[in-house]
Structure 1
Amino acid sequence: MFTGIVQGVASVAAITDRPGLRSFTLQFPAGFCSGLEIGASVSCDGVCLTVTALHEGERADFDVMQQSLSLTTLAGLGQGSPLNVERAARDGAEIGGHPLSGHVDFMGTIAEIRRPENNHVLRIAVPQRWMRYIFAKGYIAINGASLTVAEADRKAGWFEVWLIPETLRMTTFGDKAEGASLNIEIERQTQVFVDTVRDAIDERLGPLLPALQALLAQQGLSVEDLAEPVQLPRS
């Protein structure tokens, strides 16, 4: 498990391809590898990887299978590419962000970057099927960093996060450009809650669900819109 608090930025020192497998040698910041052992887990841009070898000079090797390469941004890394990294959380560790598994759900794309004074705003486009799990003020993990969703538009398929200078200093986000891909892990409790509610609706409505969907469609709505917070009129 990880906390979503990025501990530093590593870089790709070497890449070795073998049949069905790609191995990365990563160069870590000073002190990062202290006490690190073979078999330990490290979050690399949000992907949980296992240490397969340790080298002098704060370097370690990781093997990545083809499935992980196809589902994450790791396939696009080259020599010198930077990554957000975090050691696995120990028992009793402070959870400064939210619990992460290191299992990426999908890749999002930076659709827009805005830079208000002392802030950095990323608007991230998301495959439509995943928007049901993303709520304003909810948690989400992006490239291994625990962040809070500022705004979300389910119909348009995007959400936004605001990054403070400290987050930019400790991560790779400041170097990302529009069009860049990002590893996204949704918050598991949110996923369980949403899926449970949807299953309950399907079970209770049964044959009536298609009729409800058709009725909502006439109003430009969907079943997911029923979960949206109700905006009460101001007095």
Structure 2
Amino acid sequence: MFTGIVQGIAVVEGVTAATGLSTFAIRLPDSKTEGVNIGASVAINGTCLTVTRQAGNALFFDAMQETLRRTTLGGLVPGDAVNFERAARIGDEIGGHLLSGHIHTTANVVEILRPENNVIIWFEVPDQWARYIFPKGYIAINGASLTIGQVDGNRFNIHLIPETLRATTFGVIEEGTTVNIEIDSQTQTIVDTLARLGYDRPASSL
């Protein structure tokens, strides 16, 4: 499990494609790999991956075709910056919200506004996922636990403070970028349960 509190920015050093999977070499900042064991879980842009090898501060991960298809990892190239979070341990503070590291869908950045001292980013998700997005609800974007601002159909925005921009890749995000989305599990359970009881929430009513 993860908390959605991004622990820093890592850099993709290499991508090796093989039949059915890709292997990523990702370099984390100094000291951030202390105590990492082979088999440990690390969220890369919100996607839970397993450490297969370590070389200094570089960790190696294998991603299967289904992971590459469902997430943005298939588009990573050497030099790309990614958000990372090591798996939470019992007793850790949960500063965001509990995440599984299993990506539900992707979203596109459609607009970036820059009022003084903060940034507002608008995202667009596939219609079938808009039913789970509510104002002031939780959502994970590239592994970062964030609070939803406004919702307009299948679009929603988030407000980012300078510290979030500094600590994550959101500081350099651009319009047209595709990001990974993990829907809040409690919200999904409630919406799906109500739908089964006949209290559906059509996307067109958002």
| TM-score class normalised by the smaller sequence | over 0.9
Say which structure is richer in helix.
Answer: 1
Q: Give the TM-score, by structure 1 length.
A: 0.85
Distance 2:177 2:171 in 1: 12
Deviating above 6 A after TM superposition, structure 1's stretches of 4 or more consecutive aligned residues are 225-228
Cross-structure match for 1:134: 133
Q: Give, in angstroms, the shift of residue 224 of structure 1.
A: 3.0
* SS across alignment from 2:197: helix
Cross-structure match for 2:55: 55
Matched, 1:118 2:96: no
Cross-structure match for 1:217: none
Distance 1:50 1:225 in 2: 35
Describe the shift of the 1:88–1:223 C-alpha distance in structure 2 as closer, same or farther (beyond 3 A).
closer
Pair member with larger Rg: 1
* SS across alignment from 1:201: coil
Q: Percent identity?
A: 51
Q: How does 1:199-218 map to 2 (within 5 A)?
A: 199-201=196-198
Q: Equivalent of 2:160, from 163, 172, 197?
A: 163
| Amino acid in the other structure paired with 2:125 | V
State the Cα deviation string for residues 51-87 of structure 1 (Å, max 9, x = none): 000112x111000001110111111110010000000
Cross-structure match for 1:106: 105
Describe the shift of the 1:18–1:225 C-alpha distance in structure 2 as closer, same or farther (beyond 3 A).
closer
Describe the shift of the 1:223–1:62 C-alpha distance in structure 2 as closer, same or farther (beyond 3 A).
closer
Q: Give, in angstroms, the shift of residue 227 of structure 1.
A: 8.3
Runs (5+) with no aligned partner, structure 1:
203-221, 229-235
Describe the shift of the 1:88–1:129 C-alpha distance in structure 2 as closer, same or farther (beyond 3 A).
same
Tell which has more relative contact order, 1 or 2 (C-alpha 8 A, sep 6+).
2
State the Cα deviation string for residues 2-26 of structure 1 (Å, max 9, x = none): 0000000001111111111100000
| Amino acid in the other structure paired with 2:55 | H
Matched, 1:198 2:198: no
Distance 1:179 1:109 in 2: 6
Describe the shift of the 1:12–1:28 C-alpha distance in structure 2 as closer, same or farther (beyond 3 A).
same
Say which structure is richer in strand.
Answer: 2
Q: Give the TM-score, by structure 2 length.
A: 0.97
Distance 2:122 2:203 in 1: 21
Cross-structure match for 1:215: none
| Amino acid in the other structure paired with 1:144 | G
Distance 1:19 1:129 in 2: 31
Distance 2:115 2:204 in 1: 33
Cross-structure match for 2:16: 16
State the Cα deviation string for residues 135-173 of structure 1 (Å, max 9, x = none): 00000000000000011112xx10000000000000001
Runs (5+) with no aligned partner, structure 2:
none
| Amino acid in the other structure paired with 1:90 | R
Q: Is the 8 Å Cα contact of residues 10 and 83 (structure 2) preserved in structure 1?
A: yes
How many residues are aligned here? 206
